[in-house]
């Protein structure tokens, strides 16, 4: 007797085979991805030591660049025209041939094993927060430029002053350590100089938007998330700039008028937008005839007294003199290293103590 196989059974077998193939494919894909990740991590680990030494070497290159910029006819000032700042430098400058964007990293056999970009910014382009913490006029003007309400600005100014006071004394309306210790997540007030500018976000009433500015150009993504426990970000005013654009905890405590932005210049209570733009791009301004900073025709100020060439009254220049300089002593260096596809960014803080004495204050990588 002849029997015919049921078609249903053959169909089920085909489905089982297809499921098995799909599962095996997924497992194979997952294994291949895991191996790729492991291979990448192994490659990065093998380059870790080379990257660290390249980062240290990059710091030494930055030191050499800063030391070399203190020699020559234009060594009496620092400006955005100079090579360390990314400008063209002078034609006969010893640094003229240095490529800060693609500085080659050489192996022992002199082959190129990677490149490094070097970005140097002076810290003296901003106000030192530890110097102006007790200066009501400067702090008030800074709060106005940021866009903080006058009533709230008074409380924040007093809280900053209390935060930095070694004795923890309270100024009128300022929060003391008792306030911070009573928070749901308590902490102590600093009662000392600010070492990292992000400490300002620990001060009473200072929000991330005030610190970074509403644009949040440098704000970490985690800080940009709305917190349901607080009011909506849409209820907070728009801040044109942030505290990070105006202040720094590391500098010579004087503002370099050759590198400061127009916004920073307006923190001086007697400098409005008109005068700030005149200093930078007006007739006789530091940017030169093309009104653009960091170009060959720049005309940096060689002394604070030269501010009078843009029309500033002598009495205003005299008021600015205790706060201003034409030299920069502290620098922030960013080193972006690409070594055969492995990338790492190093950040160093340097201080120029003399023509041949460049001190490393800190070095870390991101």
* Sequence ranges of the domains in the chain: 48-125+328-365, 130-247
* 221 vs 38, residue with greater confidence: 38
pLDDT of residue 217: 58
Among the listed residues 191, 199, 127, 126, the one whose alpha carbon sits nearest the alpha carbon of residue 161: 191
pLDDT of residue 232: 44
Read off the pLDDT of each residue in 320-347 and give the average, rounded to a whole number.
Answer: 93
Measured between alpha carbons, how far is 288 from 300 in angstroms, rounded to an integer? 8
Question: In the chain, what percentage of residues exceed pLDDT 70?
Answer: 88
pLDDT of residue 231: 45
pLDDT of residue 226: 45
- 124 with 256: CB under 8 angstroms? yes
* 177 vs 171, residue with greater confidence: 177
Read off the pLDDT of each residue in 43-59 and give the average, rounded to a whole number.
Answer: 81
Rounded to 5°, the CA angle 141-189-211 comes to: 40
Measured between alpha carbons, how far is 156 from 214 in angstroms, rounded to an integer? 18
Strands 255-256 and 324-325: parallel
Read off the pLDDT of each residue in 42-64 and give the average, rounded to a whole number.
Answer: 83
Read off the pLDDT of each residue in 121-133 and give the average, rounded to a whole number.
Answer: 96
pLDDT of residue 9: 66
Confidence of residue 151 (pLDDT cuts 50, 70, 90): confident
pLDDT of residue 34: 78
Q: Which residues pair with 364 in a beta bridge?
A: 347
Confidence of residue 230 (pLDDT cuts 50, 70, 90): very low
- 252 with 127: CB under 8 angstroms? no
The CATH number corresponding to 130-247 among 3.10.105.10, 1.10.40.60, 2.60.300.12, 3.40.50.10470 equals 1.10.40.60
pLDDT of residue 173: 67
pLDDT of residue 42: 60
Read off the pLDDT of each residue in 25-50 and give the average, rounded to a whole number.
Answer: 74
Decide: pTM greater than 0.75.
yes
Q: Which residues pair with 339 in a beta bridge?
A: 342
pLDDT of residue 84: 93
Confidence of residue 291 (pLDDT cuts 50, 70, 90): very high
The correct answer on CATH 3.30.1300.30 for the domain covering 48-125+328-365 is yes
Highest mean pLDDT among 66-70, 84-88, 98-102, 255-259: 255-259
């Amino acid at each position: 007797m002849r029997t015919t196989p049921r078609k249903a059974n053959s169909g089920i077998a085909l489905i089982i085979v297809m499921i098995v193939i799909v599962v095996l494919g997924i497992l194979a894909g997952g294994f291949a991805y895991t191996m790729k990740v492991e291979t990448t991590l192994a490659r990065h680990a093998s380059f870790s030591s080379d990257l660290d030494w390249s980062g240290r070497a990059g710091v030494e290159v930055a030191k050499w660049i800063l030391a070399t910029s203190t020699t020559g006819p234009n060594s009496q000032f620092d400006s955005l025209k100079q090579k360390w700042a990314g400008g063209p430098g002078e034609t006969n400058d010893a640094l003229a041939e240095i490529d800060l964007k693609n500085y080659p990293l050489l192996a022992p056999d002199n082959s190129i094993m990677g490149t490094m970009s070097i970005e140097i910014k002076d810290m003296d382009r901003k106000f030192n927060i530890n110097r102006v913490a007790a200066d009501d006029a400067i702090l008030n003007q800074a709060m106005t430029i940021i866009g903080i309400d006058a009533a709230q600005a008074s409380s924040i100014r007093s809280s900053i002053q209390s935060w930095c006071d070694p004795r923890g004394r309270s100024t009128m309306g300022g929060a003391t350590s008792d306030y911070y210790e009573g928070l749901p997540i308590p902490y102590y007030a600093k009662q000392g100089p600010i070492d990292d500018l992000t400490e300002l976000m620990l001060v009473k009433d200072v929000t991330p938007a005030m610190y970074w500015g509403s644009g949040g150009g440098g704000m970490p993504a985690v800080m940009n998330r709305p917190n349901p426990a607080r009011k909506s970000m849409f209820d907070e005013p728009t801040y044109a700039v942030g505290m990070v654009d105006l202040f720094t905890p590391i500098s010579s405590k004087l503002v370099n008028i050759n590198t400061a932005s127009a916004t920073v210049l307006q923190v001086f209570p007697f400098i409005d937008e008109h005068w700030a733009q005149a200093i930078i791009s007006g007739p006789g301004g530091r940017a030169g005839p093309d009104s653009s900073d960091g170009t060959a025709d720049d005309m940096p100020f060689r002394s604070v007294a030269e501010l009078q060439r843009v029309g500033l009254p002598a009495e205003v220049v005299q008021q600015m003199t205790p706060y201003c300089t034409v030299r920069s002593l502290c620098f922030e260096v960013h080193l972006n290293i690409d070594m055969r596809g492995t990338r790492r960014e190093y950040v160093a803080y340097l201080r120029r103590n003399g023509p041949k004495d460049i001190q490393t204050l800190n070095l870390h990588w991101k």
